[in-house]
Homo-oligomer: A and B are copies of this chain.
Amino acid sequence: MYDVAERSGVSIATVSRVYRNPDSVRAQTRDRVLEAARALGYVPSGNARGLASRTTGVLGLCFPDYSDPDAETEAEADDTYDDSAVMLYSDQIIRGMERAARRHGYALLIAASLKGGPESLVAKVAGRVDGFAVLARTVPTEDLEVISRRLPVVMLAGPREIDHLDHIEVANSDGERELTRHLIRDHGLRGLVFVGGEKDSPDAEARFRGFRDACAEAGLPVPDEPDLRAVMMTQAEGERAAEALLDRADQDGGRPQAMLFANDQMAIGALHALERRGVRVPEDIAVAGFDGIPLSRMVRPALTTVRQPIRRLGEEAVELLVQRLAEPTREPVSLMLPVSVTRRASCGCG
């Protein structure tokens, strides 16, 4: 910048103005500066700019690191590669945030939490953005506590761990209840089983609660626990779960009339397993998922599911950040995004 100033015979203040506020500089001067900048290959330092102006024009996103980055190459080579739900999930959030951020003139800095570093990730992101979003269970609550004192943080999908933070969640419980109601009421199904996730997955648990509520409403037996729990909730686990439930049914004598899964990945796996076993969907058994991932529409039969506005989650996160940036003192906001039951062939609709 000093070089540019010298070459064009102005002061650095003027060079700065050319970039920050072009109209305040005479056109002739401006052109001279711009030309010098080009000749010198001048690239304004975002760091210096950020330091001086105390704002970066960047928003951040921290998401969990479920997948092992080193397993990458292997998976890539495999045609039956199973895109995990988490992966699709963060992709969509990234896209949502990126879009919304762009609309507001922000760039997006993304980083998956590396479990290794002490606070490496958060520190790196937090120090470099005007505000950021955190996926549930990504950053230790105590760190968030500290950071949120300095800049806006919004928590995504999951319980609100810190009261004074903005927070967005999805109506998991409502959605699953609605879906279950549909199966019971509109299709007259009775023997319902639910495949959930681990206990510490807030989403999966909320969905199970919705399932239970609907069962209770309908006067059906109310389970204390999901019939099965999956760990990563992958397609492969869904296949195994479906087979396990079928095996169990063969022993018990009574095959369930509907299998509900805590996410679409598992439900799609189940579809495969059922096809192999010669069990027809939806004639012999209904299947439903949760999430509304693109694949759910492509499989045959198309999967009945609950569409979750994941991308909107990302977009709303940005909106909240932008709003808080504009008005730092306003009350913390907690949004719950609505979901919608998508009825397709796998439950007997469409």
Please report A residues at the B interface, Cβ cutoff 8 Å: 19, 38, 41-51, 56-58, 65, 69-70, 72, 76, 79, 83, 87, 91, 94-95, 98-100, 102-103, 105, 107-112, 114, 120-121, 123-128, 146-147, 149-151, 294-295, 297-300, 307, 309, 311-312, 315, 342
Find the residue from A51, A56, A123, A128 having the highest chain B CB count within 10 A: A128
B112 & A124 in contact (Cβ 8 Å cutoff): no
Sampled A-B contacts (19; CB under 8 Å): A41-B146, A41-B147, A46-B50, A46-B127, A47-B47, A47-B51, A47-B128, A50-B50, A50-B128, A79-B342, A83-B294, A98-B110, A102-B114, A107-B111, A107-B124, A107-B128, A108-B111, A109-B110, A295-B295
Please name the 3 residue pairs, one residue from A and one from B, whose CB atoms are nearest each other, closest first. Answer: A46-B127, A46-B128, A47-B50
A25 smallest CB distance to B (angstroms): 14
Complex: A49 Cα to B48 Cα, angstroms: 10
From known contacts A41-B150, A124-B57, infer whether A72 and B315 are also in contact, taking CB-CB under 8 Å: yes
Known: A43-B147, A102-B112, A102-B114. 5 other contacts (CB 8 A): A38-B146, A44-B127, A46-B47, A46-B126, A69-B103
A109 & B109 in contact (Cβ 8 Å cutoff): yes
Complex: A120 Cα to B311 Cα, angstroms: 25
- Chain B: CB-nearest residue to A90: B95
Complex: A297 Cα to B70 Cα, angstroms: 24
Set of chain B residues within 8 Å of A147, measured between Cβ atoms: 41, 43
